[in-house]
Structure 1
Amino acid sequence: MEWEGSQSQVASRKFIVSETCLNKLLSKCSTCNKPVVVDKIVKGCLLVCTKTCSYCNETDTWESQPTFGGLAEGHLDLSAAIMFSGSTTAKFLRALRFAGISCFNDSTFYNIQKHYLSPSIEHVWKTHQNKLINDIRGRGSPLILGGDGRCCSPGHTAKYGTYSVMDLDSGKILDIQLVQSNEVKNSHAMELEGLQRSLSFLLDDCKLLISHLVTDRHSSVKKYMREQQPDIIHWFDVWHVAKGIYKKLEAAGKKKGCEKVKAWSRSVSNHLYWCVASSDGDGEMVKQKWLSMLNHVADIHEGHGDKFPRCEHGILEDRLWMKKGFKPHAELAKVVENKLLLEDIQKLSPAQQTSDIEAFHKVMCSWAPKSVHYMHTYMESRSKVSALHFNENARRDTRTTKSGVQQYTISYPKSRKGEPVVKDVKTEQTFGYITDLMVYAKELRLRNTSYRMASEKKKSKKDHYHWHRVPQKDLIYLNQL
């Protein structure tokens, strides 16, 4: 059953009307214009008014909103708005109650979410994902992927791990895998499991050719890619490594007599970016350029190595130089010459990085904040809505003035401890995917005019929610809802 005029109905305006103003509107008979008796029935956010005129014996019934298969439009619209916008149910309904606005209770929302909203998200996401994959096939070139995991809460006590895989050429999320900690041996293993599922989907199901993968330095991921996926070139993201180096240098700089290490910490971590970007993937060159820092901080600018014999900078002004053999230089050398670090910096990605995936994880926090717990199905649904939003707004253009000048602003990010950073001002975000979600949710309600019908339809498609991936205890609980 197709719903005609669906997009126009989704876009139609709604208004908040005070009851006193509504009484004035309904107080007279529409036939004889005499005073009438008005009986009101409130069903959530639906108001049904019956006017009875004692003069002309006319009875008229007026409803404040249309219905879809017996369900008030406002119930479906507001429930969809809660989930699709990333709001929390309790706060949203509490805000309406504080404002004196009649609305449904939370059980109504959970029924609508279960039977109409989550299936709508799954459908729209699958449609969008298939289009992305077909576009990649049309390009005819091997895929360069970026991958990274996100836990649902800080620390090592996370219940869920979300692994996101991005096409680094287009900057769009290709796949999201949600892993629960009791599906694997511990929460640390969720990242590898998520990557394995994504690669299985892209390689085996979609038959895509993957040439490169850029990730962080997760130990089990390194081993898996080395032993199980030798045909895919595995790179490490520079930002993750540079961030770790900076933290270690900051900690070393707090030791007595090591203030110079702290003064050099930002320059040393920034130096890693230059080493990688200027070496064209030559791992040995990266290593020699990196180790040259130990000479450079001691005001020695030659004799670094056979591939990189001397520094490329010009004449330098006097700086806070270190002396070899003294404590500050020794503390710096412990970090710079770390054996594992020297192995891994040779595999740092010279071009594509995972910074866009980090940006996506920040977007995901708007739909699935780490301070709020969701059940497996709804955590997965909210993650996919965030991916739809991110993909629609990926790599937006820089905003310009009327004269065509690009606009920039200064921010003071927490990661930089208040240091100013210049950023370009992006064009406004768009939300076209919301219309698709709203339309499909209403079409589902027209096809399944009761929760029972929707539940039976879902049971006939058990793979709709990937039930084989949901832990058994959650599956039992979901079936009881």
Structure 2
Amino acid sequence: MHAGDLVFASVILLSGNNFQKTTTLAKFMKLSFLSSSTFHRIQKTYLVPSIDRFWIQKQDDTLREFENTDVIVLEKEFPEIKHSFDVWHGTKNLDIKLTKISQEKENKELLVWVNYIVNHYWHTAEVATSSEEFLWFVPFANSTFTNGCQNGPLEDGTHSKESTSELENFQNLILMYASKRHSYSPPVYRARNRLAAIDHNAHAEREVMKNRDGSLRWQRSYNKTTSCEGGKQL
């Protein structure tokens, strides 16, 4: 086996790519590339076992870290755990539905209000202390827009304790390593999911990027549906 074959095979798997796309790129660039049989043999013999061993090592390290520490793992053993409405999904679905309605000819005037409504909905979920209070806050009184809403602009990355947006980010990371458009053998699929988990855990506690003056660094982004400008932290 050539050393270059091992490097190419490793890069394909560890970067979340697939062999077919990479070999097509090499073909257009007229580069010599390893064959499909060689790639899958290296993946099965060396790469997947290495990923599995590294995963088990990380698991053992985590178990040692939380040794003699109380950790909640089962819902049946802890029925007193509060199960809350997923605010992030609720806000996202509200945004999608309002945007769809506002695209109808007779509802075009609603489009400019979509961001304000979604913003108010999110803020209400954060400040309300009960479902009854939440339902009381949601209707829009005239003073909401004449005197200004108490909450400021809704910022991407602002999560309440009932949000599962972090889980959604992890699911997207899994799709980067194990796309639904491709099929994998069980060992390879398991290895790709473990790579996603390793990647996620390695960056979970990473600090937000800041400017030289210490302020948070933001990146300009645009809503594909409404063409409205927004921002997100890096």
TM tier, shorter chain? 0.7 to 0.9
Helix, strand or coil at the partner of 1:233: coil
1:284 counterpart = 2:101: no
Shift of 1:73: 2.8
The SS at the match of 2:232 is: strand
Distance 1:395 1:276 in 2: 26
Preserved contact between residue 413 and residue 419 of structure 1 (Cα < 8 Å): yes
Aligned to 1:121: 51
2:179 maps to amino acid? P
One-letter identity of the residue aligned with 2:44 = K
Shift of 1:352: 4.5
Which residue does 1:249 correspond to in 2? 98
Label 1:83 to 1:266 Cα distance change in 2 as closer, same or farther (>3 A).
same
- 412, 415, 429: which is aligned to 2:222? 412
State the distance in 2 between where 1:421 and 1:406 align. 15
- Unpaired runs of 5+ residues, structure 1, are 1-70, 144-201, 204-209, 211-224, 302-310, 318-348, 426-481
Rounded to whole Å, the distance in 2 between the matches of 1:96 and 1:255 is: 47
Which amino acid is 2:65 matched to? Answer: D
Deviation at 1:125, TM superposition (A): 1.7
Alignment match, 1:270: 119
* Rounded Cα–Cα distance in structure 2 between residues aligned with 1:411 and 1:102: 39
Percentage of pairs with the same residue: 24
CA contact (8 A) 2:89 2:163 kept: no
Q: Could you tell me how far 1:142 is from its partner in structure 2? A: 4.8
Q: Which residue of 2 aligns with 1:424?
A: 233
- The equivalent of 2:154 in structure 1 is none
3-state SS, counterpart of residue 351 of structure 1: coil
Higher radius of gyration, 1 or 2: 1
Query: Post-superposition shift, 1:289?
Result: 1.4
Q: Partners of 2:28 and 2:106 in 1: how far apart?
A: 58
8 Å Cα contact 2:219/2:232 also seen in 1? yes
User: Take 1:406 and 1:241, find their aligned partners in 2: how far apart are those partners?
Assistant: 27
Unaligned runs of 5+ in 2: 150-158
- Aligned AA (1:396): R
- The answer to whether the aligner puts 1:95 opposite 2:95 as a matched pair is no
In structure 2, the partner of 1:384 is: 194
Q: CA deviation at 1:122?
A: 1.8
Change over 3 Å in CA distance of 1:418–1:363 after alignment to 2:
farther
RMSD: 3.2
- 1:105 to partner: Cα distance: 1.1
Give the TM-score, by structure 1 length. Answer: 0.41
Output the CA distance in 2 between the equivalents of 1:116 and 1:239. Answer: 41
Alpha-carbon displacement from aligned partner over 1:83-122 (angstroms, at most 9, x marks no partner):
1111211232343344454443111111121222122222
Relative to the length of structure 2, the TM-score reads 0.77
Offset, 1:136: 4.3
Secondary structure in 2 aligned to 1:87?
Answer: coil
Q: Are 1:279 and 1:350, in contact at CA under 8 Å, matched by a contact in 2?
A: no
Cα displacement string for residues 363-391 of structure 1 (whole angstroms, at most 9, x for unaligned residues): 33332233333233322221211221121
Query: Which of 37, 53, 57 lines up with 1:107 in the alignment?
Result: 37
Asked if 1 retains the 8 angstrom alpha-carbon contact of 2:84 and 2:162, the reply is no
Q: SS of the residue aligned with 1:272?
A: helix
Aligned to 1:396: 206
- Higher helix proportion: 2
Matched residue type, 1:72: H
Return the alpha-carbon distance in structure 2 between the equivalents of residues 314 and 131 of structure 1.
56
Whether the 8 Å CA contact 1:411–1:421 is kept in 2: the answer is yes
Residue 73 in structure 1 maps to residue 3 in structure 2: yes
Aligned length: 225
C-alpha deviation, 1:231, in angstroms: 4.2
- Note the alpha carbon deviations across 1:136-167, whole angstroms, 9 max, x for none: 456x4555xxxxxxxxxxxxxxxxxxxxxxxx
Whether the aligned pair in 1 keeps the contact of 2:85 and 2:162 (CA below 8 Å) is: no
After superposition, residues 45-194 of structure 1 pair within 5 angstroms as: 71-137=1-67, 140=69, 142-143=71-72
Matching residue of 1:237: 86
| CA distance, structure 1, for counterparts of residue 163 and residue 186 of structure 2 | 30
Compare the two structures and name the one with the higher strand fraction. 1
